[in-house]
Structure 1
């Protein structure tokens, strides 16, 4: 309280006393009362309290607290702790740290576990399939950003995914006490390191596999390397290692003879008395798919365009083109796309089969085309022709949107030849190229596509496209540019994707230990995403026939189901929507591969980058003494000042009310009012 406030309070007391004397002593009526002293005392308290409220002095209260530093204990909860046989040692050290009286008195102890995720350590199972040490250090940095909190980090130092944890540990502005779990002795060891293979391969083709094999040791050895599918050896070779050659890279190509998910085993022959042989084998899977597109080139005449089309189509090895005469016996069901080259009256049966099977088509017209027949057998366009022929140059349409392609020099290509006449469309088509006649660009399509429901159709109005391919070769010294353009057109026309109300997104195979999440999208009859659906997934193990039902959960505008707890094996599944006749089936394989079993030793070298002092689980006393003796970990005394104005003191108002009420009651009682 300031001196000014003290003077004001003294002055207030004097003024209050003067007012009371004027009212109760110098007034004859009050002076005659034998109780005037009691009344004046109550009135004095009232006046003085009111003056105090007007002055409103402030009072400062200082409180002191002792803040202990935090002690963060981060424990590796991954299954590698179990595999290394260190579970008991870790639990014993954790129990000592948590229950030591001196540590609990000096620190606020907080325990966390990490593996796949970073959480509070309510319990430890040492069963998590992955280790993300980077995430652990990043979370500790966020939690103790502005605090004093030494970190006891208990782990084997073997990280299976995430960024380099030694870098994130350097960002942690807290002292780290690394506790190394596991054997630090270096043994001779052979292991399969990184394995690279495509997730998909095409039927009757070969796919590459790249395998890195690592050796830890000083002896000169030779061991057999094999790649197997079931009991069949697909590739093998003998690899030599020494102290100077500690790694080898194997490149192999494997055949694909049947469709489906194929599981393979990669193995290196173990050493004598090798301590860890789990990392000598690694499994992987490849889905073999048959995506070969069969294209029928149908014509009643011979023309070099047919050979050029076939070459361009088969530029992609996943496409096959067959040239057939209209008189041949043809099974239209074998083809995904039919190229109708210069149709005439002999094509009547072909159009019937195409309509019946719902096939996609590419219609190519020319000087031998029977337009009267063509006008009757399709409803997209009509052309009124004369006996005159016309040359049509190509003009590139940069606004074409159905698929992406570049201008490969269409303006310089030779003209296509077709019958002269007006071309009109009864439905809207999407032009890739426009007709240019005598240097004048028209808005009439030369090459166009049409998508109607689930069907796709293309139209090329002119023959001699083989000259385009030849011109492209002269310019580029390769057919690739033109063939890639024509291949994109064929790919688009051969696709036949239908809109589905229930869609599933999943992989054909997963590695055990990784996240296995199937996603689904469910649409109402207007093809709008429906959040009200109830979707269930029935999963069946092919080997045991055991079935489980999992409900889908709605997350971020899609339905998800987590199957990460399923054991390795082959599975079939069916997704169903309750109350709807909608279902979707499929299959996947979980490959048996536990990454946490791949480690033989603790990663001592990584821990040595975190701190100058490394500890082991049996060194509790050393850790304890270091924590207690470090001066930066002493408790901090903090003071807190609270400034309270008198006007906030409600008791003063109560005193004023009490004094006024008492004075009025007493005066009433003695008949002075």
Structure 2
């Protein structure tokens, strides 16, 4: 019959088509990278519940679906499900979606304040699933915030200091504010500022009239919106160095050594020195009246005081004034207790008949060793010079004295040691340089600080310390230590002249006290304390639009990233390199294969029943 070949042809064509579909389906499974789904986890334990209701409506869901995403929403602590448009897509059962590895990643939507449970993190780490965080920014109220104030590291007295203030305006496009710069209750600068949204930079110039660390405050008040007054006042300091150190020499006799001493000090230390002679040249009587009135104003401004060969107390010379540092050279004449008592409040005097024995055998522990007060070289050992000095002093009847300032510096020498030093200029210059430097060091300028007094857990802190003498010269031969909470000690590293730093230090959450100490070989010359706050909940990070520390760490560790909003996630969708797989899936292939086998079986049965096999 004619129909038999056509019937078998149709059956054979159908079976061949099914076999081709089966092969094509398998090939597609092997050759095409299939994008899988993203699961969205919404942390509604905190303020995100309100934010979720306001933002996550049908339009958000549709925008996700329009990008071809397969997703499910999972939430915890959902208090008011009925008022959500996406109720049917939310679930509190996290065990199934978290354990399911058939996803390209998990998106955690959180406020960054309340930590999400550990299940998403652990599951993502175990299955190498990237975690993507969305931290919706909270809309900030109008606010003026002084972010930072920068000043020169040090400025000379009499100069103008440039002060730069970085002011941030948020919540408004623009604002007009009044800036007031004060020192104490006195207003130095008052001006009007025009602010725009974001960071603004302004400059002020301050006259550096007084030496030392001067305290100032900058306050910015809005002229229109009274609610924008948060963090708008900040205090800062200005380090002002003296133009030059000033010294005073008071002598009872107009000897040639006075001129030599003044010239040596002025040249060696770049110091202004005033000289006063208390005895009249003609009749050698004490000119108490006029001289005292001339001396007192100079002493008040002096950084150090030198008394040469005083024979009797000078009443009223230093009445009502206690200089911070003194250098005293005693003469061959015995010193009466009255003069010593005038200055006993500023240094300790230790008289002894055996100056050499005291210095060499029982030198006080808190005094520096003799080796630091002279330059080593081709000269007689210092103990030999002292022996010669003592012999001369014994003949002349002088009483050697050893005195100690409050900072522990060697500040009083016997006159014979001084006279002997004139014949050995290296020793003399060394002693003078050390003594004057000690006086300056005790009154030096020591600054310590940290880049972030208020920080967040996981942030690195960078500490710095500056050391200058009164004229702004850096002090380098110091050791500076950083002590945290009296338990952990770190040595700060010198980075430039007079600057010491210790960086990348992380602290636990809570309140801490950092003490920075400036040390010589023998004593601590200054200490500065810094109060630190380390916060564990980064609320300010969120309000400032900055990524939270914990989500950032989790995202980077898992291979994910952080987005400030869902829109930014969708915009970057094509750029994200999601993990994809090439796998064989048997969802349709078995059906196609069974149909093809059934048709082949039918064809075999028909051929057999018609006797064609």
Shared topology, TM-score over 0.5? no
TM-score by length of 2: 0.40
TM-score by length of 1: 0.37
Q: Please identify which structure carries the higher strand content.
A: 1
